[in-house]
Chains A and B, each alone.
Chain A
Amino acid sequence: MTSFWLGRGGRALAVLALLGVFTMALPQLIPGDPAIAVLGTQATPEQIALFHSKLDLDQNPFVRFGNWIAQAVQGNLGTSLTTDASIADEFARRLPVTLQLVLASQVIALGLAIPVALRQAWRPNGLMDRIATGISFVLLSMPGFVLGLVLIYLFAVRLSWLPATGWVPFVEDPLGNLRTLVLPALTLGLAEAAIYGRALRSDLVTTLDQPFIHAATSRGMRPGKILVARAFRPSSLSLVTLVGLGIASSIGGSILVETLFAVPGMGRLAQGAILARDFPVIEAVVLVAGCAVVLMNILVDLSYRFIDPRITHGNN
């Protein structure tokens, strides 16, 4: 067991190191001088030299990554090239917004997926199952930006119930915050719900064919109770994996939804930084998002043992 976690941790560190070096190598991978790309061809040699020293560009990616880590553990993520603002401060403003969005979308996704999947698995191939499967297939075929536009068209343009874009912080106006949160969270949540629902349904159908379920049925346990109290937990492995993946990837992956709905989170920050070629900001976003993915993977692995104690960790 200990050796497994040592190996798991070692692998995670190796993955992060590789990600870090690759990220740091990015400015140097562009053909031509990144200083020219950012400052323009009119830049004087002094400006270029200043730019290089500011970004540590004279060093190789390994050294740059080392320096970055040394600063990062002290809470210093560098400063933005365009605004000169501290990136750590910027993250402190934007990360809560993205996290609130992610949390809300996960609540929606799980709130929809779990009851529907339980109902579907209770009567596989029944009418409800087919309708739900059809809807989830359609949702899976809808890119986020199309789903978002459809929701804007319905709820903002046609019905004028909710604002199409914009963001009100929770501390300013909780109700206004909720109103601006609903559409972006629905856009992310509905897509996730389809993915979660399909996985959970198929795992549930497998579980419901197991001897311990037949035993519970023959003892006269009610179907609802069997589903919730017996079948759900051992069927939730794929679900937990997908939820972990979903949360982790939306830290750096909610660019589309944040842009579509003008939500001032991490995704918008990343998009702006890419447009401005603001490398320190891009590097920080990528590394924070990468850490989230690696950390989530470990948490998911850890959770398997709690969900199903029969699982042991091999050295594969």
Chain B
Amino acid sequence: MATINIALPKAALTKSKTSRRRINTGLLLSILWLAVLGTLSLVSLFWDGLDPIKADFSSPAAAPSADHLFGTDATGRDVFARTVAGARSSFAVAGITLTVGLGVGVLLGTLAGYLGGLFDRVIGILLDSIIAFPALILIMLVVTLQGPSLWTIGSIIGFLTVPSMARITRASTLTLREREFVTAARLLNASRVRIMLREVLPNVAPIALAYGFTVMTVSIVAEGSLSFLGFGLQPPTPSWGGIIADGRTQLAAAPWISLFPAITLCLTVLALNVVGERVKGRNS
């Protein structure tokens, strides 16, 4: 890797009062959006008023109304209920992705950064070869071969986020390794495992968690793309990508079938991005 041997001054972060207030409004709206969506998707588990599969055959492809907030799809199923159920799938996959990506990534990154040497090199080459693999092809292939379950989709997307998570944690571990408190622990004859667990990891974790929001957006977009291509969760399980793909043929006559889940998907990713930026900004 290329290294820059000159000192560059850090970007002058000039934030005026007005821009700070604006960001707070955005942040508030983002948190609110995620909370509402999360609550709705939990409520829909118990309340059959939000049944994503129940079809109202008398009104197929009906425009949005008081009865059907987001309209109905070609078979008369409520698009709002389907969108909420889609959120459930997306959040479930994102949760699995986050666990795999953060768990394995942080472990590998901390080990590679702290141990260095041959281990660091081998891990580096391993991660590079994962990056060189075309991501969507790998996901589609694994899902085709293993069957499209929440677990398979979540874990394979998580596996693909491991390289970036590991690189980020490795970089922070490298700087942490040289800090006084780590040297102090070493002088106190603390074991490597103890130093890693008690000194390095607690300092790496917040940085990794901040990137967790990015991992979640990547997961939601990847799961959506997969379902859009027909490789994701299979019907009748609703997922955003699948609903949007279903509405594609009716784009001219009933645009709401694709439009509302698409807006929900984008707003969710946007909200996660806004919150993530904020948390990252806090850390640095």
A149 and B248 contacting across the interface, CB-CB below 8 Å: yes
| Contact code string A283-316 (vs B, CB < 8 Å = 1, else 0) | 0011001100110000001001100101111101
CB neighbours (8 Å) of A313 from chain B are 2-3
| B12 CB–A CB distance under 8 Å | yes
B135 and A310 contacting across the interface, CB-CB below 8 Å: no
| B205 CB–A CB distance under 8 Å | no
**A191 and B213 alpha carbons, distance in the complex (Å):** 19
B270 and A138 contacting across the interface, CB-CB below 8 Å: yes
| B195 CB–A CB distance under 8 Å | no
CB neighbours (8 Å) of B4 from chain A are 308, 310-311
Contact of A22 among B129, B224, B244, B262 (CB under 8 A): B129
| B252 CB–A CB distance under 8 Å | yes
A270 and B6 contacting across the interface, CB-CB below 8 Å: no
CB neighbours (8 Å) of B145 from chain A are 29-30, 37, 277
| B187 CB–A CB distance under 8 Å | no
Contact of B244 among A145, A209, A290, A311 (CB under 8 A): A145
B134 and A253 contacting across the interface, CB-CB below 8 Å: yes
B11 and A206 contacting across the interface, CB-CB below 8 Å: yes
**A26 and B6 alpha carbons, distance in the complex (Å):** 45
Contact of B6 among A143, A150, A310, A316 (CB under 8 A): A310
Given the contacts A15-B128, A16-B132, A282 and B137 also touching, CB distance less than 8 Å: yes
CB neighbours (8 Å) of A70 from chain B are none
B2 and A301 contacting across the interface, CB-CB below 8 Å: yes
CB neighbours (8 Å) of A141 from chain B are 217, 266-267, 269-270, 273
B131 and A293 contacting across the interface, CB-CB below 8 Å: yes
| B126 CB–A CB distance under 8 Å | yes
Interface residues of B in 96-149 (CB under 8 A from A): 124-126, 128-129, 131-138, 140-141, 144-146
Given the contacts A138-B270, A143-B269, A310-B6, A255 and B132 also touching, CB distance less than 8 Å: no
Interface residues of A in 141-176 (CB under 8 A from B): 141-146, 149-150, 152-153, 157
Given the contacts A19-B132, A209-B11, A316-B3, A286 and B137 also touching, CB distance less than 8 Å: yes
| A80 CB–B CB distance under 8 Å | no
A11 and B2 contacting across the interface, CB-CB below 8 Å: no
Given the contacts A30-B145, A145-B228, A18 and B129 also touching, CB distance less than 8 Å: yes
Least distance between A231 CB and chain B CB atoms (Å): 13
A289 and B137 contacting across the interface, CB-CB below 8 Å: yes
Contact of B14 among A124, A150, A294, A312 (CB under 8 A): A124
Contact of B3 among A18, A26, A252, A311 (CB under 8 A): A311
**A194 and B202 alpha carbons, distance in the complex (Å):** 34
Least distance between A120 CB and chain B CB atoms (Å): 13
A290 and B270 contacting across the interface, CB-CB below 8 Å: no
**A232 and B54 alpha carbons, distance in the complex (Å):** 57
| Contact code string B1-34 (vs A, CB < 8 Å = 1, else 0) | 1111110111110111001000000000000000
Contact of A142 among B14, B128, B252, B266 (CB under 8 A): B266
| Contact code string B130-174 (vs A, CB < 8 Å = 1, else 0) | 011111111011001110000000000000000000000000000
Least distance between A177 CB and chain B CB atoms (Å): 24
A259 and B252 contacting across the interface, CB-CB below 8 Å: no
Q: Give chain A's interface residue range (CB within 8 Å of chain B).
A: 35 or more
| B251 CB–A CB distance under 8 Å | yes
Least distance between A14 CB and chain B CB atoms (Å): 5
| B71 CB–A CB distance under 8 Å | no
B134 and A289 contacting across the interface, CB-CB below 8 Å: yes
| B44 CB–A CB distance under 8 Å | no
B12 and A205 contacting across the interface, CB-CB below 8 Å: yes
**A124 and B14 alpha carbons, distance in the complex (Å):** 9
| B95 CB–A CB distance under 8 Å | no
| B60 CB–A CB distance under 8 Å | no
Interface residues of B in 37-68 (CB under 8 A from A): none
Least distance between A280 CB and chain B CB atoms (Å): 14
CB neighbours (8 Å) of B144 from chain A are 274-275, 277
A18 and B134 contacting across the interface, CB-CB below 8 Å: no
Contact of A282 among B1, B141, B146, B244 (CB under 8 A): B141
CB neighbours (8 Å) of B265 from chain A are 143, 146
B133 and A22 contacting across the interface, CB-CB below 8 Å: yes
| B212 CB–A CB distance under 8 Å | no
| A137 CB–B CB distance under 8 Å | yes
Contact of B137 among A30, A209, A255, A316 (CB under 8 A): A255
**A150 and B137 alpha carbons, distance in the complex (Å):** 24
* B128 nearest CB neighbor, chain A only: A15
A202 and B134 contacting across the interface, CB-CB below 8 Å: no
| B239 CB–A CB distance under 8 Å | no
A143 and B224 contacting across the interface, CB-CB below 8 Å: yes
Give 6 closest A-B pairs by Cβ, nearest first.
Answer: A252-B134, A141-B270, A18-B129, A290-B132, A141-B269, A293-B132
Some 20 contacts from A to B, beta carbons below 8 A apart, are A11-B128, A18-B126, A125-B15, A138-B266, A141-B270, A146-B224, A209-B9, A210-B8, A252-B137, A253-B134, A253-B137, A271-B229, A274-B141, A274-B144, A282-B141, A285-B137, A290-B129, A311-B3, A311-B5, A312-B3
Additional pairs, 9, CB under 8 Å, beyond known A143-B221, A206-B11, A271-B140? A149-B248, A205-B12, A209-B9, A255-B136, A256-B225, A282-B141, A286-B134, A286-B137, A310-B5
Binding site for A on B (CB under 8 A): 1-6, 8-12, 14-16, 19, 124-126, 128-129, 131-138, 140-141, 144-146, 217, 221, 224-225, 228-229, 231, 241, 244, 248, 251-252, 255, 258, 262, 265-267, 269-270, 273-274
